Chains A and B, each alone.
Chain A
């Protein structure tokens, strides 16, 4: 499933930097207002996933020793299944409790229509 979520070089660099500062990481895709509709990055285990969530990917990032899990709520993923996701990063400020905000950067999700010829 890991091809559902990919990481741009800029996002990979930020993930490496956050890994050095905070230890192992995870993502949870947010919905709703304000900083929503964007991926939130936390220390692994900080956000408790449950049966309402699905793990879309365990991302392999160069320089990060362990996979970085990417989670989304099942209900939201039901509506997203036709798209592939790319984690990018842009200059920004503020993001709920996501780890990158103090860096002046913000993770951003870009989407493309999935072509699943094998399905």
Chain B
């Protein structure tokens, strides 16, 4: 067990990063940034407004042309160098991210930061390998298709994986040759600046610009600007609709990732033997507590087949009780702090409505009091509810370490319950039978169906939503298309006129 020290590399104040340098906010105002670990502020962050966003868009436009013309090999080299620099500072980045977000250090060390590093490398490779196309229309006519960058794009980043989600959006946009204006979440505005302190010298000025602030003051002017060619957003449905509304005013594309209420389905044959596979499935169940449940694909509905329902659920409750809460910087800690006080309060409000609706609490069900310096932090006990799919705790994203469990009779019943949701981002299927796995996986209306695994996020596996979970895909080379225009040159090699005129 290792207990890492609280990070000391923070500046006391962060301004906006615009045009390759730090500039003070136009309004001169800052807001405090608390760590969810203790609830205590550790830095101040610029409170951006429309003027700051305009300045950042100016800088991005100044840089976009040259960056877009930079050879793909050189752009890829920049991304690879960013990845190398992150690799050299992996532990410090992980500690920063844990302090910023409240998540356990073992997750940031093993998942958040390594995945972000790999993501930059993946898109460095993807852009090198990308080709346009040509079509021979007839003997004299050729249609050439070129990929061109969009220009300047706006990206609004969520707070649940501040660095990884920023990377998911930055890496493909930069690889494709765009300049970016990025607004971090106001709950987690600082870790991206620590990352910038490590990599800013690698980036041409103006290619990456970071404007901090509140959604209404800084996010809105970015999302509604006619001078950004595209907006990418991860968050919730109402803001997603608002962003589409602004985009419609400017006739601009958006990509949206808006969450889900992901089913995790355990067929009877999971319990056919007390072996490694069953043990893995129990871990898969317990994945609802990963990142304190603050994951858009949190497996927050567990559907367990009737034949092994009681036994599997009892084992799952036992596994959940073994989740170790504690200081997020302690390497033995499995569940850390929720990212903010309002998030904590929202989770508690759902624990309340779940009980009112008659769901049974099998374990957890309350705020966790960890004492000492953590008493001001935002901690929740991993909670298992047992109920029915019509309950609100089965239908709404709680975004906490809360899973709602129900049973199903057969494959059709499982698929029916799984699809009885407004969302369709992720799902899990656990079975030893490949036919069942295939049928279930194809029938579930979700963009990602983890089959005999859960919560893996490798680059090169497309991630995105069906239904109200959003538009577009991330994490895959197809994301390049979301950041590129198609230019068609339709060329005639015929010397003779058509004969119309």
Is the pair A83, B353 in contact by a Cβ cutoff of 8 Å? Answer: yes
- Taking a contact as CB atoms closer than 8 A, the residue among A38, A42, A83, A97 that contacts B392 in the complex is A83
Interface centre among B215, B234, B257, B395 (most CB of A within 10 A): B215
Enumerate A58-100 residues with CB–CB distance to B below 8 Å.
73, 75-76, 79-80, 82-83, 90-99
Q: What is the distance, in angstroms, from A71's C-beta to the closest C-beta of chain B?
A: 9
Q: What is the distance, in angstroms, from A112's C-beta to the closest C-beta of chain B?
A: 6
The stretch of B7-15, B92-100, B396-404 that contacts the partner chain: B396-404
- Taking a contact as CB atoms closer than 8 A, the residue among A36, A94, A96, A112 that contacts B397 in the complex is A36
- Taking a contact as CB atoms closer than 8 A, the residue among B159, B187, B259, B345 that contacts A36 in the complex is B259
Q: What is the distance, in angstroms, from A108's C-beta to the closest C-beta of chain B?
A: 5
Q: A91-B342, A93-B342, A101-B215 are in contact. Are A37 and B350 (CB under 8 A)?
A: yes
User: A106 an interface residue at 8 Å Cβ cutoff?
Assistant: yes
Query: A60 CA to B262 CA in the complex, in Å?
Result: 37
Residue of B nearest to A107 (CB): B342
**Chain B residue contacts of A83, Cβ below 8 A:** 353, 392
Query: A47 CA to B268 CA in the complex, in Å?
Result: 46
Interface of B is mostly: mixed
- Taking a contact as CB atoms closer than 8 A, the residue among B220, B236, B241 that contacts A35 in the complex is B236
Q: What is the distance, in angstroms, from B154's C-beta to the closest C-beta of chain A?
A: 13
Is the pair A35, B356 in contact by a Cβ cutoff of 8 Å? Answer: no
Is the pair B346, A32 in contact by a Cβ cutoff of 8 Å? Answer: no
Is the pair B260, A30 in contact by a Cβ cutoff of 8 Å? Answer: no
- Taking a contact as CB atoms closer than 8 A, the residue among B47, B219, B346, B398 that contacts A97 in the complex is B219
Q: A90-B345, A101-B216, A110-B349 are in contact. Are A37 and B399 (CB under 8 A)?
A: yes
Number of interface residues of B (CB under 8 A): 55
User: A56 an interface residue at 8 Å Cβ cutoff?
Assistant: no
Is the pair B342, A32 in contact by a Cβ cutoff of 8 Å? Answer: no
1/0 per residue, CB under 8 A from A, across B369-403: the answer is 00000000000000000000010100111110000
Q: A34-B158, A79-B390 are in contact. Are A102 and B342 (CB under 8 A)?
A: no
User: B58 an interface residue at 8 Å Cβ cutoff?
Assistant: no
Residue of B nearest to A95 (CB): B215
Query: A117 CA to B325 CA in the complex, in Å?
Result: 44
Is the pair B236, A30 in contact by a Cβ cutoff of 8 Å? Answer: yes
**Chain A residue contacts of B105, Cβ below 8 A:** none
Is the pair A32, B356 in contact by a Cβ cutoff of 8 Å? Answer: no
**Chain B residue contacts of A30, Cβ below 8 A:** 236-239
User: A29 an interface residue at 8 Å Cβ cutoff?
Assistant: yes
Is the pair A36, B340 in contact by a Cβ cutoff of 8 Å? Answer: no
Is the pair A31, B397 in contact by a Cβ cutoff of 8 Å? Answer: yes
Residue of B nearest to A49 (CB): B241
**Chain A residue contacts of B259, Cβ below 8 A:** 31-34, 36
Is the pair B220, A37 in contact by a Cβ cutoff of 8 Å? Answer: no
**Chain B residue contacts of A106, Cβ below 8 A:** 342, 345
Q: What is the distance, in angstroms, from B375's C-beta to the closest C-beta of chain A?
A: 16
Q: A36-B259, A40-B238, A102-B31 are in contact. Are A93 and B340 (CB under 8 A)?
A: yes
Enumerate A19-64 residues with CB–CB distance to B below 8 Å.
28-38, 40, 42, 46-48
Q: What is the distance, in angstroms, from B429's C-beta to the closest C-beta of chain A?
A: 21
User: B54 an interface residue at 8 Å Cβ cutoff?
Assistant: no
Query: A37 CA to B242 CA in the complex, in Å?
Result: 16
Q: What is the distance, in angstroms, from B501's C-beta to the closest C-beta of chain A?
A: 48
User: B468 an interface residue at 8 Å Cβ cutoff?
Assistant: yes
**Chain A residue contacts of B343, Cβ below 8 A:** 92
User: B255 an interface residue at 8 Å Cβ cutoff?
Assistant: no
**Chain A residue contacts of B296, Cβ below 8 A:** 32-34
**Chain A residue contacts of B349, Cβ below 8 A:** 108-111
Enumerate B210-239 residues with CB–CB distance to A below 8 Å.
214-217, 219-220, 223, 234-239
Query: A32 CA to B349 CA in the complex, in Å?
Result: 16
22 pairs of residues in contact across A and B, judged by CB atoms under 8 Å: A32-B236, A33-B296, A36-B397, A36-B399, A38-B236, A38-B342, A40-B239, A47-B238, A47-B241, A79-B392, A92-B340, A92-B341, A93-B34, A93-B341, A94-B186, A94-B342, A96-B219, A96-B238, A102-B47, A108-B342, A110-B349, A111-B353
Closest 5 CB pairs of A and B: A92-B342, A33-B259, A36-B236, A32-B259, A96-B239
Inter-chain pairs besides A31-B468, A80-B392, A101-B214, 6 sampled, C-beta below 8 Å: A30-B239, A32-B235, A32-B423, A33-B397, A75-B468, A108-B349
| A residues with CB within 8 A of B | 28-38, 40, 42, 46-48, 73, 75-76, 79-80, 82-83, 90-99, 101-102, 106, 108-113
